[in-house]
Chains A and B, each alone.
Chain A
């Protein structure tokens, strides 16, 4: 099992609050890694460290390393947009950009210096097909993205992320605002996508984790309690806390 991302001795505080405590974790390549845990345990913060969106927050102190392939992205000299481009992000609620459906996908290409109309058109079509949205929107590409349903918007956001050809997809409870049908569509897509991408998904839905996880990380109060393959984790949990969480008798 190759690891795509390797987190070593990661500590993070915002002000005087320590949010992440001594995180050590290898995220396997071409698998779905699920980060589980109750609200406020630092899942989202951990995700934000990976693509360094954490830099946008104030009063943050980080120590430790995060290796993407062989580059320590916390102490790198290469430019941040380039690193972020390698990781697509899907947030809790879809945030379509304030432009039409077509431009939402084209945006990522254009800011990365691709202006060839032919290439952009092909990419828009290809990526909308990837997320099974093409049939629904091909005749209304010039309409504002905000007119799509929430489920469609979330798929559009996924397509937008795929268009910049990332290596990793980070998802922060991507189905929490969606109806069951749209959720299933996203979950299925994730399982398909692991052929080409490494996926890291934060969720607090245990059943969702059981359905799609290859590798599971369980966090509690800023620490990793246990991590392992889905089989190990769900069927043979080692820690008492994990057992309690899996049985739903937590807190």
Chain B
């Protein structure tokens, strides 16, 4: 590695590796775009995105119900997990003794490391029957339990450790003199959390939510196992849905004798990627606008 001591050579190497990192997402998008070109030629973009007509044998690929399921499952999962994580993080960093944090940290790490198939099995064994026997009947609805809600519950449990971990880091990184300044002015602890800590942490909170969203949006196997996999616009969250990753995983390599089918699945991946990118972009913009204000 002696040649790395030469500054110029080192610089070239550093740029090279940086280039690889930057090139990866670009190559992914470009590659997926070329692969999905033939389905884009055969169908109009608005048909692909906003039609529910899914008739591969007639060459009709309408992704709307898949996109709808994906977005619905993800949003519902965030709706469940974000408040839990936020309150847990506030409690652990602001109220609880530091021992609690030390105990909970490895638990979070273990939760984050559990393979998603296990969450899927847990969903089938616990969540699906729970919904079909107790939750749905409570609302007067009959369901087999394989539903958008089941997918969302399983997903929310899966993303909780990731969101919580980021939130804990963010709250811990706020120096304790800042809340002290607020408390010294006569603010109560809750006022301090509400007006000072949450404001300070806001950009980080947005980042954590988007990170959780990106993970939830692309999660495949655990959702696929409990969501029912019926391509439709569900009337309520107790009906089954069919998210994009499940569509790709279930069909890739199976139906490729149908013309344009593999291209359509590539397009599905492209949609996934673009939606995640858009959410990240929106979050970046939100954060940078906010940061000019504090």
Contacts and interface: CB of A to CB of B under 8 A. Distances in A.
A84 B186 contact: yes
B180 A99 contact: no
Interface in A48-101: 51, 53, 56, 58, 81-82, 84-85, 87-89, 91-93, 95, 97-100
B184 A97 contact: no
B98 to A, nearest CB: 6
Contacts of B177: 91-93, 95
Interface stretch (A11-19, A107-115, A209-217, A231-239): A107-115
B292 A58 contact: no
A146 interface: yes
Contact of B294 (A112, A146, A164): A146
Interface size class of B (residues with CB under 8 A): 20 to 34
Nearest to B191: A111
Contacts of B178: 95, 97-98
A167 to B, nearest CB: 12
B186 A53 contact: no
A160 interface: yes
B191 to A, nearest CB: 5
Interface in B265-294: 292-294
A157 interface: yes
Interface string A210-251: 000000000000000000000000000000000000000000
A53 B182 contact: no
B186 A108 contact: yes
A144 interface: yes
Interface string B88-108: 000000000110000000000
B180 A89 contact: yes
A161 interface: yes
A53 B292 CA distance: 31
Interface residues of A, number: 29
Contacts of B293: 99-100, 144
B35 interface: no
Contacts of A81: 183, 186-188
Interface in B170-222: 175-188, 191, 195-196, 199-200
A160 B185 contact: yes
A99 to B, nearest CB: 6
Contacts of A160: 181, 185
Contact of B97 (A58, A82, A89): A58
The residue in B180, B188, B200 that gathers the most chain A C-beta atoms within 10 A of its C-beta is B180
B107 to A, nearest CB: 21
B186 A95 contact: no
A93 B180 CA distance: 12
A4 B293 CA distance: 40
Contacts of B186: 81-82, 84-85, 108, 111-112, 164
Contacts of A144: 292-294
Nearest to A110: B195
A108 B181 CA distance: 10
A84 B177 CA distance: 15
Given A89-B180, A98-B200, A107-B195, A84 B294 contact: no
Nearest to A86: B186
A140 to B, nearest CB: 13
A84 B185 contact: yes
A53 B181 CA distance: 10
A67 B192 CA distance: 27
Interface in B212-266: none
A84 B184 contact: yes
B185 A161 contact: yes
A87 B185 CA distance: 8
Given A93-B177, A95-B178, A111-B188, 19 more contacts: A56-B176, A56-B183, A58-B98, A85-B185, A91-B180, A91-B181, A95-B180, A97-B181, A97-B199, A98-B196, A99-B199, A99-B294, A100-B294, A107-B182, A111-B182, A112-B186, A160-B185, A161-B184, A164-B186
Interface of B: 97-98, 175-188, 191, 195-196, 199-200, 292-294
7 contacts: A53-B184, A81-B187, A88-B185, A98-B196, A107-B182, A108-B186, A164-B185
Interface of A: 51, 53, 56, 58, 81-82, 84-85, 87-89, 91-93, 95, 97-100, 107-108, 111-112, 144, 146, 157, 160-161, 164
Name the 4 nearest CB pairs between A and B, nearest first: A85-B186, A89-B184, A98-B294, A108-B185
